[in-house]
Structure 1
Amino acid sequence: MPSQRAERSLNVLVALTDPSAFRFGCSVVARLHRLHHVSLKVIACNDFPKSAHATLPPHLEPVWHPYALDNDKAPGWQHADYQETKVTEYCSWADLLVLAPLDAENVARMLHGFTTNLHLQILRSWDVSKRILLIPAMSTLMWENPMSRKQISKIRRKWNWIRVLPPFLWSFDHAGRKYQPWEGHKAFNESIQTQVDLMAVGDRTIALPIAHLPTLTPTRSKGARLPPELWSIILECTEDWELAVSLNVHTNLPVPPEWRQAASEEGPKTQMQKLEWALLTYPYSEIRKLFDSENPTRISRLCIELIMRFALVPVLVHLENYHKELFWGTFGHAFLPHKASVFGKTEILEYWRTSPTFLTKEYSAEAIDNASRTNSVQALDWWYDSSLPLKYTEAALEQASSQGHIQVLKWWKEHSRYRTAPAAPHTSSEEKDLSKAHRDLLKLKVGKSITYATQSGCLPAIHFWVESGIPFSHEDTIAKIASMHGHTHILDYWRKLRGEKILFDNQVLVGPTKMGHSDVLEWWKRSSLRVEYKTCDIEEALEDGVGGDRGDGVRRWWALNGLNLGVGTSEWMRVKVLSS
């Protein structure tokens, strides 16, 4: 099923902190540059390498930001807050920090919280719900010293947002420094791919209404069963091959490309295909045995999505207890609350809330915003009843409005001071429910919800906001945005609602002209409203506008309605009125 939003890239900030290992750091940047769905920014202790032997393509230079390792050597033009401003910018932008590499001195400084240069300030300011990949760099003698072992062990035990990769080491002989081959390529590649996969989890399936069905578990028979043929028809209507296979129901649905090998007569071949097929079709006991025998160091995006989508809590428990590094690297930090809210899986949310691994509850506004975006009322109910602090932004209502999730919008209203008053005295069961509602009424963050609903052409969401009694702003954008996107049905409704008081300005015809909506231009002509425009604005919109039939249609419409581009400057700038 298509996603409801485009996949975004993983934003990776690479810090090249060691001048003596600069070539190694450049090789790490080059490796990341070759990966799909990765966007880079580089902070480096040296300028961008431009020699003929450089391994970096020239188009990476704009994302290369050199800095002084000593704060005292910062350029004079930098104001007092310049570096802290850049630190905030980098930390906000990045999803992942790669230290390529970090020498023994800076490892020690990091552990003691020093902020004597840019990369140490970034480490001190880093949001620990996001991952860091650390490549230590030092001589073999330093690496084998007990102090190094103690420090690296502390990072691995206490700083679980940092994954320590195999070190970049060197020794010395009569010719000087001699670098050893780096043994971390596999671990590095797996770590990056895991982060890319984790970010994309949910994009493939969140459009499915069945993603929010309760978890399918065996139940005792309560009467006659539907015949298999009817189940086949029902599941074919969902167009969901994975669900049909997981329920062992035969359908004629086409096999998705990612499943063709596993579903073929030959069966799954690679380790990852075996794990994916097991998660889709095997009982829990067999899944556990396969994980124990294969002992994977990472699992694919498809594996993660199956665990989340079908709420395979027993699998999570097994990984938590017997494959701790794999579990934490995949499901640690804020991943479970954020993604379980996407899929509407309250079973996973409850597991996360009660698991001893997650005594520190790491989550952000993304969790509740995700539940609103994906129409998961049950996830919103879980968060409301969880006793955890509720974190959310304007995106919760904006995205629900954009996608027409009326039940979500009603949920927010009924948990705010704008809730509907009860029509009758409470029953005993209702009183019990009210006793659980111990929270204060939620403060609604309306944001630009009406604008988002208008842009997507979602008239039911606009009806909701008009009829809800909830104050909203940005009404002045409705006519302009509806016109730009060709939504005449919204213009009809808003004209009927507001009459002569509908808000718009002399730019209202520019959007539909540029986007090729001649039907909108005709709507304004017949509206009997005083619609103003400037010839200069319309000419610019025609020049920048769409081509093809829509562009020709707009030009034809303006030609029939008196537009004359061959006028003097004063006439060209004068405000005119569209004649009806």
Structure 2
Amino acid sequence: MESSSTDDPPPPFINFLPKTPSATSFYEMPRERRLKLLVAANGPKEVAYAQTIAVRLSKEPKITVKVVVDELTHRLAQEFPCFANRSLHPPSLSIETDYFNGAPKRDGSTAKSTGAGGHSIPNCQSNREIDCAQRRAFELVDWADLLVLAPIDADNLGRMMAGIADTLLLEVLRSWDASKRILLVPGMSTHMWENPVTKRQISKLHRKWYWVRVLPPILWHYNAPPPSGDAAGNSAASTPESAIRAHSQQQEQQQQQSKRVVQWSGFAELIGIIKNHADLLSLGHDVDIAALNGGRAFAPDSGFSSAGSKKRLPPEIWSMILEYTGDWELAAALDVFTKLPMPTHYGWRRQPSHPDDPLQVFMHELEWTLLTAQTDKICQKLSEAPATIHDLSALAIKLIFKFSLTDVLTYVEAHCPLVFRNFDGKTVPTKASAYFGKTEILDWWVRSPSFLEKQYDAEALDGASKNGYVHVLEWWRRSGLPLKYTEAALEQASAKGHVRVLEWWREASLASPPGVVLKPGRALICAAQYGRVDVIRWWEESGVNGGHQDAICKVASRWGQVEVLELWRELRGDDKMVFNHQVLVEATMYSHLAVLDWWKGYAHGTLPRMNGRRAKQVEYRTMDIEEALEDALGDPAAVRRWWATNGLNLGLGTSEWMKARYL
């Protein structure tokens, strides 16, 4: 990257930087979200496709797989959580008829329902099994982020569109969350595929079932039998040997005729779409809030580029700032020289990974064009998109969100509408709120005709609270949309130390008309775990009952938070501290010598402002401490020395080990 030729301030798009303070430490970094993929297929032969997809994706670190098929294979059962597709009808109380000979079945075999193609699906044998299957369908729908039907046959396709739910798979489809996408691969004969009924069904899926994406079908046909000549016609007048030979020829012809030829060219496309969904799901989890906020001071609206000021930073200072933030993408967009390496783990490449694929080449060029953050150039590049483009890469979406390129989103919506249809319905509001803090993107989303059904969940507000985006929380409050959130909002804000977020929630709960109910959850415990003394003080002084006060001493001892213990003593008073013998056990097991010293000082009245006055006794039992020493982490030798110095005697008799002792 070449250095900038001028020391001009950055362009206006740098306003994407967060507006609220935040800090991120190593042990608080979020874990990357994994795509929960449910792979399903129906039919005894089609299970091979589901198995191939599951095995192909099993080594992807961003994907976890579960499978639903008609017949379980040994490999599927060994490698994946998989479930047999079962009929939800109990066996009939009447005697089942054997359709081959017209006689009742009396062999005691398990009743089965006949599926498409003549294969059978086991019935549930009792109402209890039906309830179990329905509960499993509910859990799978709740668990999965993406459903892949590869393939679904004509019979089940029709049943799905009619709303029938008489098997486990159809129950899943009937109760599917429409904010999550389904990748549907039809599987049927070439004649079925060309039938007007199928065309009408596929057309309806495209027009009304917006959560279903139809992919290239798996088609099959049968080989035509070879000419039989006069063998069959002359067999009746021939010798017995000729009749036998003719019968053998007929059998061979039937075998040749029954050979099924399958055609499917969409496997690679399907795998690529699934991987892109996984990348989109994890999008934003790598955003360094602390680094982004570090650049807020040099945003134009902070005063450095005001009309009345001619102050400018030299290029060397810009280089130092951007190297400190570690943001290679921002440095490239600003054309500022840095020594930062290209982040290939984010997908950046100098050359496209597949130079022979026009779509891959275009996406590679689009990503580099997006890096300029110049709307005109980006829209010009999008106008050159291949007709087959239906998805944008996760990296492209990231740059659009990062630089708040709402005009680009409008262009994509007008000229590539399938891109947003193939999105998970919650992608835009969730990423803009929880990870990028972009109210500009939210303003675009709320007005977009592509998202008439405003699909979002608690992750949007929970994530905004976690990352300290007060301006995003305020946007949601003023949007008029229902506020969806869980206890995680206040818990994560407390763990991160976002007092401004906590204050926003408190004020929102007191506003008129009331519409926000505070959900403290375990927020106070989270603050104690991460040593957020300012948050703990806020909870005590805010008048909001966060609960779990009795657990503060134990949690602080477990995590080595001496400052929390001292603050809690200050807030509660020496005589009102609530704790038990576990505070010493936890500190011993995790080798927190500073915590042990603090409890010793508390017990002996040597802490600040105690003036030698002892408050409560700090109890322990020799047996508990010995077990903690055996399981101790860190430096057990140092902890053993501490206890040896402070009166622990491991040579006592068995009866003495259970007695309560005090520091």
Query: For the Cα contact (< 8 Å) 2:85–2:169, is it kept in 1?
Result: no
1:566 Cα deviation after fit: 5.5
Task: Determine the C-alpha separation between the residues in 2 that align with 1:239 and 1:439.
Answer: 44
1:66 Cα deviation after fit: 2.4
Query: For the Cα contact (< 8 Å) 2:328–2:341, is it kept in 1?
Result: yes
Calculate the aligned-residue CA RMSD, in Å. Answer: 2.8
Give 1:60's match in structure 2, choosing from 72, 79, 97: 79
Give 2:144's match in structure 1, choosing from 89, 94, 97: 94
Task: Determine the C-alpha separation between the residues in 1 that align with 2:494 and 2:48.
Answer: 50
1:129 Cα deviation after fit: 1.1
The reply on whether 1:224 has 2:310 as its aligned counterpart is: yes
Q: 1:458 to 1:308 in 2, by over 3 A?
A: same
**223-232 or 397-406: which moved more?**
223-232
1:250 Cα deviation after fit: 3.4
What corresponds to 1:17 in structure 2?
Answer: 42
What corresponds to 1:71 in structure 2?
Answer: 89
**174-183 or 446-455: which moved more?**
174-183
Give 2:382's match in structure 1, choosing from 291, 294, 297: 291
What corresponds to 1:167 in structure 2?
Answer: 217
What corresponds to 1:317 in structure 2?
Answer: 410
**252-261 or 500-509: which moved more?**
252-261
* 1:27 maps to amino acid: T
1:90 Cα deviation after fit: 1.3
What corresponds to 2:540 in structure 1?
Answer: 466
What corresponds to 1:84 in structure 2?
Answer: 134
SS of residue paired to 1:526: helix
SS of residue paired to 2:263: coil
What corresponds to 2:579 in structure 1?
Answer: 504
What corresponds to 1:457 in structure 2?
Answer: 531
Task: Determine the C-alpha separation between the residues in 2 that align with 1:145 and 1:104.
Answer: 11
What corresponds to 1:196 in structure 2?
Answer: 278
SS of residue paired to 1:415: helix
Task: Determine the C-alpha separation between the residues in 1 that align with 2:299 and 2:190.
Answer: 54
Q: Deviations over 1:499-533 (max 9, x none)?
A: 22111122222222222212212221221132223
Task: Determine the C-alpha separation between the residues in 1 that align with 2:152 and 2:298.
Answer: 45
Q: 1:105 to 1:260 in 2, by over 3 A?
A: closer
SS of residue paired to 1:20: coil
Task: Determine the C-alpha separation between the residues in 2 that align with 1:57 and 1:165.
Answer: 24
Q: 1:543 to 1:113 in 2, by over 3 A?
A: farther
SS of residue paired to 1:136: strand
SS of residue paired to 1:509: helix
The number of residue pairs the alignment matches comes to 546
Q: Deviations over 1:98-145 (max 9, x none)?
A: 223211111111111111011111112211111212121111111111
Task: Determine the C-alpha separation between the residues in 2 that align with 1:500 and 1:108.
Answer: 72
Larger Rg: 2
Q: Deviations over 1:448-485 (max 9, x none)?
A: 11011111111111121112111110111111111111
Q: 1:126 to 1:516 in 2, by over 3 A?
A: same
The reply on whether 1:392 has 2:477 as its aligned counterpart is: no
The reply on whether 1:355 has 2:448 as its aligned counterpart is: yes
Task: Determine the C-alpha separation between the residues in 1 that align with 2:513 and 2:335.
Answer: 43
Structure 2: give runs of 5+ residues left out of the alignment. 1-23, 91-122, 224-255, 604-615
**452-461 or 439-448: which moved more?**
439-448
Query: For the Cα contact (< 8 Å) 1:171–1:180, is it kept in 2?
Result: yes
Query: For the Cα contact (< 8 Å) 1:338–1:366, is it kept in 2?
Result: yes
* 2:366 maps to amino acid: L
Give 1:43-442 correspondences, 5 Å limit.
Answer: 43-47=68-72, 49-50=73-74, 56=75, 59-60=78-79, 63-69=81-87, 71-72=89-90, 73-76=123-126, 78-79=128-129, 81-173=131-223, 174-208=256-290, 210=292, 221-229=307-315, 230-258=317-345, 270-281=361-372, 283-295=374-386, 296-330=389-423, 332-342=424-434, 343-417=436-510, 439-440=513-514, 442=516
Q: 1:131 to 1:480 in 2, by over 3 A?
A: same
Query: For the Cα contact (< 8 Å) 1:69–1:118, is it kept in 2?
Result: yes
TM-score by length of 2: 0.77
Q: 1:4 to 1:511 in 2, by over 3 A?
A: same
What corresponds to 1:495 in structure 2?
Answer: 569
1:324 Cα deviation after fit: 1.4
SS of residue paired to 1:414: helix
Give 2:638's match in structure 1, choosing from 550, 553, 558: 553
1:27 Cα deviation after fit: 1.4
* 2:47 maps to amino acid: F
Q: 1:172 to 1:99 in 2, by over 3 A?
A: same
Q: 1:175 to 1:534 in 2, by over 3 A?
A: farther
Q: Deviations over 1:140-199 (max 9, x none)?
A: 111111111111121122111111221122112334141423211122112111111111
* 2:640 maps to amino acid: R
Task: Determine the C-alpha separation between the residues in 1 that align with 2:134 and 2:297.
Answer: 47
Q: 1:142 to 1:223 in 2, by over 3 A?
A: same
Task: Determine the C-alpha separation between the residues in 2 that align with 1:136 and 1:260.
Answer: 32
* 1:228 maps to amino acid: P
Q: 1:116 to 1:536 in 2, by over 3 A?
A: farther
**513-522 or 115-124: which moved more?**
513-522
SS of residue paired to 1:396: helix
The reply on whether 1:517 has 2:592 as its aligned counterpart is: yes
Task: Determine the C-alpha separation between the residues in 2 that align with 1:140 and 1:260.
Answer: 39
Task: Determine the C-alpha separation between the residues in 2 that align with 1:232 and 1:225.
Answer: 17
Task: Determine the C-alpha separation between the residues in 1 that align with 2:207 and 2:376.
Answer: 30
Query: For the Cα contact (< 8 Å) 2:39–2:66, is it kept in 1?
Result: yes
